[in-house]
Amino acid sequence: KKSIFSGMQATGTLQIGNYLGALKNWVQLEDEYECFYCVVDMHSITVRQDPAELRKKARALLTLYIAAGLNPDKNCIYYQSHVSAHAELSWILNCYTYMGELNRMTQFKDKAAKHSENINAGLYTYPVLMAADILLFQSDLVPVGSDQKQHLEITRDIAERFNGIYGDVFTIPEPYIGKTGARIMSLQEPTKKMSKSDENVNASIYLTDDPDTIIRKFKRAVTDSDNEIRYSREDKPGISNLIDIYGAATGKSVAEIEKEFNGIGYGDFKLAVGESVVSMLKPIQDRFDELSKDKAYIDGIIKQNAEKANYYANKTLRKVQKKVGFPERI
């Protein structure tokens, strides 16, 4: 069976971009692949976090994976910090990654600009830890949103470099970017991607937002001053983003949506988009509330899946340690 790895940071409550760009696609892959889905709490501390909050968010995120439809018997759902091989492989790969490569990473530049008070080495080597995450599981496919494409490319470069020196150690992973929802934009600044850590709460629709909040946020979404529901990312980024969201929530194509809303005003369109998102999220929210009450069930998943992830990850790590010349364990 081919393998899949992906993960999300526990840096906030998931927003619909995370769901439509990544999580929703994950759910469709569980029968065909051996899947590993991680809550990347080690990546999360590249930005300062309140410890109690981080713990809470990490648990909520893991629960949300299941609520969104991932079957924990078929998918290995675990915390990155419970599998120390992530850190160990990351160190080794640091020694096979050039600073010049890391300097080109746009996410680092964006995050460094946003967190200028704390440009730490972890933020800089973030892509190396991500490469370790992916390569540990010999992943064939990595389902992510299109914003992660550059990180996938550096992962492939590092893996190819390593294989070039030591032989076929790592599987070279391919990105898997879904057709719809690959890049959902902020509702307030539609030229910027939607982010779970955006300070403006009106910019993102969180998976836990109640129906009134969702409708209100869509009503306030920034659009443009003409009144045509037409798709053009360049001229009409706000409306195009709403068309993308509506399309992802309903399965309708851009052409169908343009036809459906021909001659209809922005207000009514925004309401329709809001309602489609409310219906999309309702079953996930109900399941999330149910699961959150079942502590023993979630604890069991955390324990069992960490064991499974450790088993697979350590297999790769031992191979790599041997290749680079670390002494054998006696």
Q: How far from each other are the two terminal CA atoms of the chain, in whole angstroms?
A: 32
d(CA 57, CA 39) in angstroms, rounded, equals 10
Catalytic residue among 111, 217, 236, 270: 111
Q: How many residues bind ligand AQP (CB under 6 A)?
A: 22
Catalytic residue among 193, 217, 236, 270: 193
Structure tokens at 5: 């790895």
Interface with ligand AQP, residue 58, by CB under 6 A: no
Interface with ligand AQP, residue 17, by CB under 6 A: yes
Q: How far is the CB of 101 from ligand AQP (least distance, A)?
A: 19
d(CA 323, CA 94) in angstroms, rounded, equals 15
What pairs with residue 39 in β-bridges? 8, 79
Instruction: Tell me which of 193, 217, 236, 270 binds ligand AQP, using CB under 6 A.
Output: 193
Instruction: Tell me which of 3, 11, 46, 276 binds ligand AQP, using CB under 6 A.
Output: 11
Interface with ligand AQP, residue 70, by CB under 6 A: no
The answer on whether 92 is annotated among ligand-binding residues is no
- Please name the amino acid found at residue 160: E
Interface with ligand AQP, residue 195, by CB under 6 A: yes
Catalytic residue among 24, 57, 196, 236: 196
Q: Which residues, other chains included, contact 309 with Cβ-Cβ below 8 Å and sequence gap of 6+?
A: 36, 38, 76, 78, 82, 83
H helices of the chain, in order, are 16-18, 24-26, 41-44, 51-67, 85-94, 99-103, 106-114, 121-124, 126-136, 149-166, 211-219, 237-250, 254-260, 266-292, 295-324
Instruction: Tell me which of 34, 41, 133, 147 binds ligand AQP, using CB under 6 A.
Output: 147
The answer on whether 293 is annotated among ligand-binding residues is no
The answer on whether 18 is annotated among ligand-binding residues is yes
The answer on whether 179 is annotated among ligand-binding residues is no
Q: Which residues, other chains included, contact 279 with Cβ-Cβ below 8 Å and sequence gap of 6+?
A: 249
Interface with ligand AQP, residue 144, by CB under 6 A: yes
Q: Looking at beta carbons, which residue is closest to ligand AQP?
A: 21
Q: Is 192 a catalytic residue?
A: no
Among residue numbers 87 through 106, which ones bind ligand AQP (CB under 6 A)? Answer: none
Interface with ligand AQP, residue 59, by CB under 6 A: no
Structure tokens at 164: 């070039």
Q: Is 111 a catalytic residue?
A: yes
Q: Which is nearer to ligand AQP, 18 or 63 (CB)?
A: 18
Interface with ligand AQP, residue 129, by CB under 6 A: no
**Ordered DSSP codes for 37-61:** EEE-HHHHTTS---HHHHHHHHHHH
Is residue 40 left, alpha or beta, with left meaning phi > 0 and alpha meaning psi from -120 to 50? beta
Interface with ligand AQP, residue 145, by CB under 6 A: yes
The answer on whether 193 is annotated among ligand-binding residues is yes
Q: How far is the CB of 325 from ligand AQP (least distance, A)?
A: 33
Structure tokens at 248: 């992802």
Cα within 13 Å of Cα(8), Cβ side = 30
Q: Is 78 helix (H, G, I), strand (E, B) or coil?
A: strand
Q: Is 196 a catalytic residue?
A: yes
Q: How far is the CB of 19 from ligand AQP (least distance, A)?
A: 8
d(CA 254, CA 276) in angstroms, rounded, equals 15
Stretch that binds ligand AQP, among 51-59, 157-165, 180-188, 260-268 (CB under 6 A): 180-188
Annotated binding site: 9-11, 17-18, 133, 145-147, 184, 193-197
Annotated binding site for L-tryptophan: 133
Annotated binding site for ATP: 9-11, 17-18, 145-147, 184, 193-197
Binding region for ligand AQP (CB under 6 A): 8-9, 11-12, 15, 17-18, 21-22, 144-145, 147-148, 181-184, 193-197
